[in-house]
Structure formats: C-alpha cells, structure tokens
C-alpha cells in the first residue's frame, strides 16, 4: 500500500504566480510527497502525491485558472487497473 494514493498534476494560469511561494505553501500545509512546482509568473506546472487531491485543487484554483488537471489513483495503477 502506498503512503500517498493520488498522483495530482495540473497547470495554473494566472498573473504574478510565484513557484517558490506555491512550493513552500504546499510543503508547509499539505501532506504528500514528490512535489514539483515549475514555471513562471504566468504559468505553473504542479505535480504532487497526496491522499487529498481536492485540497490541492482548491488551493491552486485560488491562484488562477486550472487546466490539464489529472488525478490518478496509483494503487489502482499498481494493480494493473486504470488509475
């Protein structure tokens, strides 16, 4: 069994986005691992493993427009099922 079940990936489009601040906020306020936040002030790519992807989606939606959102169940994937 995985410690963090959901692979959460998305893009955030906005203004004055700061990848370091987003990374720090997620690290300090959400449980998970494999955090990756890259981009610039207009577009951020986020990748995070968590058990509560809805919390990450809500936070990111507060920063800008979300798109290309993918949430996959990694336990199902490891069992050979669709995530």
Residue 46 counted as domain residue:
yes
pLDDT digit string, tens, across residues 1-54: 789 999 999 999 999 999 999 999 999 999 999 999 999 999 999 999 999 999
How many domains does the chain divide into?
A: 1
The token duo for 12 is: 């955030």
Of the pLDDT bands very low, low, confident and very high (cuts 50, 70, 90), residue 83 is low
Residues near 45 by beta carbon (within 8 Å), at least 6 away in sequence: 9, 10, 11, 36, 37, 38, 39
32 burial (CB, 10 Å; 0-12 / 13-18 / 19+) is buried
Residue 15 counted as domain residue:
yes
Of the pLDDT bands very low, low, confident and very high (cuts 50, 70, 90), residue 65 is very high
Residue 12 sits in a domain of what CATH number?
3.30.70
Could you tell me the residue range of the domain that residue 23 belongs to?
6-72
Rounded Cα gap, residues 45 and 66, in angstroms: 10
**β-strand partners of 66:** 12
Which pTM was predicted? 0.92
């Amino acid at each position: 069994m995985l410690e963090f079940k959901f692979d959460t990936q998305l893009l955030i489009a906005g203004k004055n986005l700061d990848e370091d601040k987003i990374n720090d906020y997620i690290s300090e306020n959400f449980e998970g691992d494999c955090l990756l936040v890259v981009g610039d002030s207009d577009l951020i790519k986020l990748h995070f493993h968590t058990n509560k992807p809805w919390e990450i989606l809500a936070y990111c939606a507060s920063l800008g427009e979300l798109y290309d959102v993918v949430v996959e169940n990694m336990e199902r994937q490891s069992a050979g099922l669709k995530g």
